[in-house]
A and B are shown apart, each in its own frame.
Chain A
Amino acid sequence: MIELRRADYEAIIAHARREAPRECCGLLAGHGSRVERVYEVPNRADAAAEFFAERGLYPEGKISGLRGPEVLTAERFFMDPEAQFRALRDMEARGLEHIGNYHSHPASPARPSRTDIELAAYWSHVYHLICSLADPEHPDLRAYRIVNGQVTEVPIRIIDEAESGSAVDR
């Protein structure tokens, strides 16, 4: 189970909608299974063509219908390394743990793709959240553990906290 404040849940969905048709991505910090801070990170998949190509994961454009470089950000994410590093350092400075990553699937279900599973190899210790906008009226946010290629869905508990606002870093 991962616990997410409603404001943070809404912030992830808002980020996904703002970036669509591109994939969005970000990091989640907190303690244990409780998210306390959301960090939006720019998607630099456009600069990571070789990274995907050398793994046989270059997007074919079947989902987005796109050709050319736009297909990269529509069907892949690659966190901006400096922004990712800054966010991880900020968490440490605040005494928070890095407990999750999130990204969006603008036009496909909220399930880890082959690409997600292969590239999660170094991140088996964190939750992976995916926000699907396949049905634009009904965003679907789901959480997973991905360990040695094995995917396990983890329930998300939304917490309503009237007094605590969202802490989102853009």
Chain B
Amino acid sequence: MAVKVMIPAPLRQFTGGQSSVDVQATTVGDALAALDQHFPGLRDRLVEPDGRLRRFVSVFVNGKDVRTLQGLETPLQEGDEVGIVPAMAGGR
């Protein structure tokens, strides 16, 4: 499936400034692996060594947080849009 991965501004330093990347993938995990082929090392910023999504990052399929779907196993359809956002947090 051809899907579009949207790269947020804080991660564009790893994509040479590119704001979206078209990849072939059947799951969200596949899409991140495909992204890593274009930009080696990017996946490690998003996924723990044991394969879980890092806590400070959220990944979306068509605006839905994959943690509320099937995580990195979430299936993708042709034309889906995969979004990535680092957490915005702090306090006191």
Residues of A within 8 A of B (CB): 23, 25, 27, 41, 45, 48, 50-52, 54, 59, 63, 74-79, 81-82, 84-86, 88-89, 98, 101, 103, 105, 108, 112-113, 115-116, 119-120, 122-123, 125, 128
On whether the beta carbons of B65 and A113 are closer than 8 Å, the reply is: no
A-B contact pairs, 26 of them (CB 8 A): A25-B88, A27-B88, A48-B55, A51-B55, A59-B91, A76-B90, A76-B91, A76-B92, A78-B87, A82-B64, A85-B58, A88-B85, A89-B63, A98-B9, A105-B92, A112-B90, A115-B89, A115-B91, A116-B91, A119-B89, A119-B90, A122-B56, A123-B10, A123-B86, A125-B10, A128-B90
List of A residues within 8 angstroms of B71 by Cβ: none
On whether the beta carbons of A85 and B88 are closer than 8 Å, the reply is: no
B29 CB within 8 Å of chain A:
no
On whether the beta carbons of B60 and A85 are closer than 8 Å, the reply is: yes
CB proximity of A104 to chain B, nearest CB, Å: 9
On whether the beta carbons of B92 and A81 are closer than 8 Å, the reply is: no
Give chain B interface residues in 50-92, CB to chain A under 8 Å.
55-56, 58, 60, 63-65, 83, 85-92
Using known A-B contacts A120-B90, A122-B86, determine if residue A82 contacts B56 with beta carbons closer than 8 Å.
no
CB proximity of B45 to chain A, nearest CB, Å: 10
List of B residues within 8 angstroms of A128 by Cβ: 90
Quick one: closest A residue to B11, CB to CB? A122
